[in-house]
Structure 1
Amino acid sequence: MARLLAEDVNLVPKRVRVEVRPALSFSDEDKVGTIQPHDDALVIMLRIGGYDVKRVMVDQDSGIKVMFPDLYKGLNLKLEDLTAYDSPLRSFDGKVVILKGQTRLPIQARSEVVEVNFIVVDAYSPYTAIVGRPWLYALGAVSSTLHLKVKYLAGDWVEELVGSQSMAVQCLVATILHQPRVEPSVFTERSS
């Protein structure tokens, strides 16, 4: 009988181990702490080049990572830290932006670190940097402007970066205040 049981055990197929990983999703609970409805940009803090950097905008529509003069100066980067970058770049308002070059730096989001190439521009922005799809993809992250969060897997758990709604509003106000004054148009009536 013992022999029969041993043979029966060999006939039972081995169980397939199924790996269960948490899903990257957003719910109404993720909106807690935000003022709804809103149309604010997703502005977060990241550790870039070993420094905590505020006012980093996550732009899902951008295919590049941009660094503005405040961050360039704050990281004490010099021209010799840059490599050439000669592809034209346009700002949000459609103007061609003056490029200084590009530099490769680590971006740390909590426990995950991703090396990225930043294009360094010489243009005004209330943001210190803009990160886009390439950074999100490298991190394996999903962002939601509605929920003002970025979520990604770190091992067996979901980590999240929470956007600052007040910082997004401050950046918007700074952009509005920075706009050059436009002289009102003077219309004259034509005589017939």
Structure 2
Amino acid sequence: MSVAQPLAENSNSEPKRVRIEIQPVLSFSDEDKVGTIHPHDDALMITLRIRGYDVKRVLVDQGSGEEIMYPDLYKGLNLKPEDLIGYDLRLLGFDGKVVIPRGQIRLPVQAGSEVVEVDFIVVDAYSPYTAIVARPWLHALGAVSSTLYLKVKYLSGDQVEKLVGSQYVTRQCLVAAIMHQPKAGSSASTDKGL
């Protein structure tokens, strides 16, 4: 049976000090609400640098597993069909209709000094957004997003960086989406007998 022996201290040296590293924490506080109109139900819309261009109207959708690129961005980046690789799965749009993708493309997406390669599925459908980034982008960046605080936070080195969403742009996109809706037939009866 062995008994643990206390380590002998060297009387000529100081005891070793435990070195504690303090890691930044990705969290949100009431300070993050400054500049945001509350209460709100706005989506989180940010600007990202995609393929070297500042791209506005990028929706952060933490409920989605796929990154999407819409026609405005596809054309704005001067992409061509030969830049795409095949993508065979069909998607379900916000309007409930099936969308057949044109293909997929991998592009660098920059947030501050951090760059993440993102596989965008290119669709030919109307959207007030230029692109959607989702869980794969958030996870690759090591980011945490909050629709309440309208921010994305991530670590860059030993600093917490943040991307701030725009309520103004989000609300412009909402209006554009409503205005784009096809006119539905009125449910009100025009019969004089009712």
Distance in 1, matches of 2:78 and 2:12, equals: 67
For residue 159 of structure 2, the aligned residue among 138, 145, 157 is: 157
Distance in 2, matches of 1:9 and 1:115, equals: 54
Alignment of 1:45-84 (within 5 A): 45-84=47-86
Aligned residue-pair number: 183
Alignment of 1:13-92 (within 5 A): 14-92=16-94
The one-letter code of the counterpart of 1:112 is: E
Instruction: After TM superposition, give the deviation of residue 11 of structure 1 in Å.
Output: 8.4
Other structure's SS at 1:7 match: coil
Structure 1 unaligned spans of 5+: 1-5
Partner of 1:3: none
Distance in 1, matches of 2:63 and 2:144, equals: 13
Q: Scaled by the length of structure 1, what TM-score is found?
A: 0.91
Other structure's SS at 2:20 match: coil
Distance in 2, matches of 1:19 and 1:132, equals: 31
Instruction: After TM superposition, give the deviation of residue 7 of structure 1 in Å.
Output: 2.8
Distance in 2, matches of 1:85 and 1:7, equals: 67
Partner of 1:8: 11
For residue 166 of structure 1, the aligned residue among 165, 168, 181 is: 168
The one-letter code of the counterpart of 1:72 is: Y
What is the RMSD of the two structures over their aligned residues, measured on CA atoms? 1.7
Distance in 1, matches of 2:100 and 2:52, equals: 26
Runs of 4+ in structure 1 over 6 Å off: none
Over residues 9-32 of structure 1, what are the superposed CA-to-partner deviations in whole Å (9 max), with x where a residue is unaligned?
Answer: 4683x3332221110000111000
Instruction: After TM superposition, give the deviation of residue 185 of structure 1 in Å.
Output: 3.5
Distance in 1, matches of 2:101 and 2:85, equals: 11
The one-letter code of the counterpart of 1:94 is: G
Partner of 1:178: 180
Instruction: After TM superposition, give the deviation of residue 140 of structure 1 in Å.
Output: 0.3
> Does the 8 Å contact 2:89/2:100 carry over to 1?
no
Other structure's SS at 2:163 match: strand
Instruction: After TM superposition, give the deviation of residue 187 of structure 1 in Å.
Output: 5.6
Partner of 1:133: 135
The one-letter code of the counterpart of 2:147 is: T
Q: Scaled by the length of structure 2, what TM-score is found?
A: 0.90
Percent of residue pairs bearing the same amino acid type = 71
Other structure's SS at 1:86 match: coil
Higher helix content, 1 or 2:
1
